[in-house]
Structure 1
Amino acid sequence: MRDKKCTTCYLSISPFCTGGVQYRYCALAQYANLVGVTIGFTLTGSISMVAIQKCNCFHKYGHEADCSTTNYQFMAIFGIFEILLSQIPNFHELSWLSIVAAIMSFGYASIGIGLSIAKIAEEGYHINTGLTGLVVGVDVTGTEKLWNTFQAIGNIAFAYCFSMDTLKSSPPENQVMKKSSLVGIIITTFFYALCGLLGYAAFGNKAPGNFLTGFGFYEPYWLVDIGNLFIIIHLVGAYQVFAQPIFSAVERLGSKQWPQSKLMTKEYDVRIPFVGIWRMNMFRLTWRTIYVIITTLIAMILPFFNNVVGLLGAISFFPLTVYFPTEMYLTQAQVPKYSTIWIGMKLLSGFCLIVTLVAAVGSIEGIVSDLKTYHPFNPN
């Protein structure tokens, strides 16, 4: 809040608390993160589509059948859905997506946990596990294990990459948001830990990066299909949650730059059967369609799920989740330099910077290794 006016987004408070240069860095990090996540969602959604097709193929022809396929056509299908959803004018009309996303997340996480428990409970089932994971010299080399550890740190960072502004909320709102955030983090961590621990107990050192799409489970095929369908529905909606701020920023900038342009401002009422009136704007239609096409093409070029997720987490975790929130707090609360709180915040920030650098290095190495064996448009 400044001059009795509340800021309306995370980015808008940054120049008041951290200065102009850091504001530009915050903007770059925030929008780069949003773009990167939409690319990652396109990739992940298509992987789940491929998994459904393969799962049905394996069920019909046997687990040894050649069910290889590419996921490029599924990326295109995902992109078409996003082009249609992107034409919804503003973010407020997508509030229902949060409810759908929560239901879908709970659904596929529960399916993964249930299937893992069933596999662990199989009579006579045994899998190689260990407190330190993969055995150096047997499963991997020491260098490979180090890179895998770095990549895993990036994946964890990505899972917790979010921030919330409650600096100047009134006490009731402040308290409610903090309680909601705490409960959400606890529940999320519980499911993350349960999926990770039970997944490792079920598959051991050969655990796939995603055990619903990596074919740790083949049967019951219909339940695996439902789990992947939940993932797809979740990601179709989540894409919009991350893309709408980008759409809004570009359209707001265009309207400010060319306020008299009919391309920017004029809207046409288009009647859609069974839906109602759709307010069409030519710039919005063109720009949002182009954005979805570009992110889809980039996803086709970089189909490396775990490493891409790790890199996204590394890029966005430190600046948006740690550095800017701590700097804003120190500035807003006027914490004295070299006080206990100030030193603690700086140590936390420094530690998280190291985590970010380690995760980024590991993910980049993984992507480079994947590129050495990557052949575009070949069956998976």
Structure 2
Amino acid sequence: MGFDKEGSGEGSASSASASKQKSLEEWLPITASRNAKWWYSAFHNLTAMVGAGVLSLPYAMAHMGWGLGITVMILSWVITLYTLWQMVEMHEMVPGGKRLDRYHELGQEAFGEKLGLWIVVPQQLLVEVGTCIVYMVTGGKSIKKVHETFCPECTPIKTSYWIMVFASVNFVLAQLPNFNSISAISLGAAVMSLTYSFIAWGASIKKGITPDVSYNVKMKSTSDGVLNFFSALGDVAFAYAGHNVVLEIQATMPSTAEKPSKVPMWKGCIWAYIGVAICYFPVAFVGYYMFGNMVDDNILITLEHPAWLIAIANLFVVIHVVGGYQVFAMPVFDMIETYLVTRLNFSPSSTLRVITRTLFVGITMLIGISIPFFGSLLGFLGGFAFAPTSYFLPCIIWLKLKKPRKYGLSWTINWVSSFGFNY
């Protein structure tokens, strides 16, 4: 009888713990809503991938040249599509129906509870928080460009004030409770990314090839050329940073043994990557072909005319980075809110959500105002966090968890992708 009571107590405690965990999952932004469709995957991934960084790809080409530039661009597209497929496949690889809803949960499954966190979380946070800061600066500068174009006689306003204007929108949108609640914003952002990419390369063709165009690699010295080359690789890695949110996007989809989430998720990823190719390759190759090594770090600056079209393109950039900010911020909100509730014993509530998210948006705004060149710094640091989380880590985790046959096709592809093409 005593044994029965003890078992009953343990069962009761276990049931209470499971109920508490379920309640938390239903509150957290990543797992609160699991009714997303395949097209949610398409535009969330497209929004995450095709950031304003696409406009710097011709500049990256100028530091790599035709041969290396084309090779890096195509290989990056192929390799990251492959690693994206691996992550989608690994989302539900644990027996018993457990879903690895977050990148760090996949890392913990591969490397252990503590080591997995230390390997994944710092890199993922650098990518996601760093991208949010870059989008703060980009959004502010783009609004400023729109204002100056449509009102050239107006008194110039400092970029820092425009960053505050951009932040004010995100202060409001950050209060949306979960990933699926930002779907309409993400869809609009995806459409804008396709549109301003088309404007960038279409206007480049319209303007024509620059007189005396040169395709020599842009550098002042050998050391300068090497530094710029690695910075260009960082820019390309930054362009393929969407892997940092892919598991979190997949977590919003329903999944059963008969209809696993990987099927609609992968369908959406394919369409997103078609969109990535439509945006990246024409902008990078056409922009570089037209302007050579004289292209600016933002091709819209190089274009200048027609002024109204460039202003509209900058307006589209603003709309896109609003959505992109929310997509990259949502997993960060999830991490912060999980930590506050599980480790610091805060109660899950709207008040907690408002305070933490407002603070996050405010901090990224202040950093963006204080370090307006943060985007250049992030491009340089891209190889340390952006490349591993998109190119390297998925392959290592696949080898660790799937254990493919040594020297077999899967084993070889993953080792080559990890070390042969990880720049």
CA displacement, residues 188-246 of structure 1 (integer Å, 9 cap, x when unaligned): 1232121122212332221111122x2x2333222111100100011112111111221
Distance change (3 Å), C-alpha of 1:19 and 1:301: same
Please tell me whether residue 334 in structure 1 is matched to residue 422 in structure 2. Answer: no
Alpha-carbon distance change, 305 to 30 in structure 1, aligned in 2, over 3 angstroms = closer
Return the alpha-carbon distance in structure 2 between the equivalents of residues 70 and 219 of structure 1.
Answer: 23
Q: Which structure carries more helix by proportion?
A: 2
Q: 1:253 aligns with which of 321, 327, 339?
A: 339
Residue 98 of structure 2 aligns to which amino acid in structure 1?
K
Name 1:193's counterpart in structure 2: 281
Q: Which amino acid aligns with 1:330?
A: L
Q: Which amino acid aligns with 2:175?
A: Q
How many angstroms apart in 2 are the aligned matches of 1:335 and 1:15? 19
Partner of 2:356 in structure 1?
Answer: 287
Match runs of 1:131-210 below 5 Å: 132-134=216-218, 140-163=220-243, 164=246, 173-210=261-298
CA distance in 2: counterparts of 1:170 and 1:126, whole angstroms: 61
Matched, 1:56 2:150: yes
For residue 188 of structure 2, the aligned residue among 93, 100, 121 is 100
Kindly state the Cα deviation for residue 315 of structure 1 after the two structures are TM-superposed.
Answer: 3.1
Q: Which segment is superposed worse, 181-190 or 228-237?
A: 181-190
Question: Structure 1 residues 55, 201: closer, same or farther in 2, change over 3 A?
Answer: farther
Identify if the C-alpha distance between structure 1 residues 311 and 170 changes in structure 2 by more than 3 Å, giving closer, same or farther.
Answer: farther
SS in 2 for 1:128: coil
Post-superposition shift, 1:92? Answer: 2.2
Paired residues of 1:335 and 1:342 also in contact (CA < 8 A): yes
Given the superposition, is the C-alpha separation of residues 57 and 206 from structure 1 closer, same or farther in structure 2, using an over 3 Å criterion?
farther
Is 1:14 the equivalent of 2:114?
Answer: no
User: 2: CA distance between counterparts of 1:248 and 1:35?
Assistant: 13
Q: How far 1:161 moved relative to its partner? A: 2.2
Letter paired with 1:111: I
Contact 1:44 1:305 in 2 (8 A): no
Task: State the Cα distance separating 1:69 from its structure 2 match.
Answer: 5.3
* Coordinate RMSD, CA, aligned: 2.7
Q: TM-score, normalised by structure 1?
A: 0.75
Partner residue of 1:25?
A: 119
Shift of the 329–222 alpha-carbon distance from structure 1 to 2, 3 Å rule, reads same
For 1:243, which of 324, 329, 333 is the aligned residue? 329
Of 124, 129, 136, which aligns to 2:214? Answer: 129
Give yes or no for the alignment of 1:83 onto 2:171: yes
Contact conserved, 1:157 with 1:314, CA < 8 A, in 2? Answer: yes
SS of 2:176's equivalent in the other structure is: coil
Task: Give 1:224's aligned amino acid.
Answer: I
- 1:34 equivalent to 2:128? Answer yes
Q: 1:248 to 1:341 in 2, by over 3 A?
A: closer
Pair 1:71-2:176 in alignment: no
Greater mean deviation of Cα atoms: 11-20 or 90-99: 11-20
Aligned partner of residue 95 in structure 1, secondary structure: helix
- Which segment is superposed worse, 27-36 or 343-352? 343-352
One-letter amino acid of the structure 2 residue matched with residue 42 of structure 1: M
Per-residue deviation, 1:160? 1.4
**Number of residues of Structure 1 aligned to a counterpart in Structure 2:** 320
Percent identity among equivalent residues?
28
Structure 1 pair 217/343, CA: closer, same or farther in 2 (3 Å)? Answer: closer
1-structure distance, mates of 2:203, 2:166:
27
- For structure 2, the residue ranges without an aligned partner over 5 or more in a row are 1-93
Instruction: Evaluate the alpha carbon distance shift between residue 90 and residue 178 of structure 1 in structure 2; reply closer, same or farther with a 3 A threshold.
Output: closer
**Residues 305 and 186 from structure 1, CA distance in 2 versus in 1: closer, same or farther, beyond 3 angstroms?**
farther
Q: Is the 8 A contact 1:79 1:292 kept in 2?
A: yes
Task: Classify 1:178/1:35 alpha carbon distance in 2 versus 1 (closer, same or farther; 3 Å).
Answer: same
- The residue number in structure 1 matching 2:64 is none
Whole-Å Cα distance in 2 between the matches of residues 188 and 293 of structure 1? 31
* TM-score (ref. length: structure 2): 0.68
Rounded to whole Å, the distance in 2 between the matches of 1:301 and 1:2 is 48
Measure the CA separation in 2 of the matches of 1:56 and 1:220. 12
C-alpha distance in 2 between matches for 1:223 and 1:18: 50
Task: Mark the CA change 1:38 to 1:7 in structure 2 (over 3 Å): closer, same or farther.
Answer: same
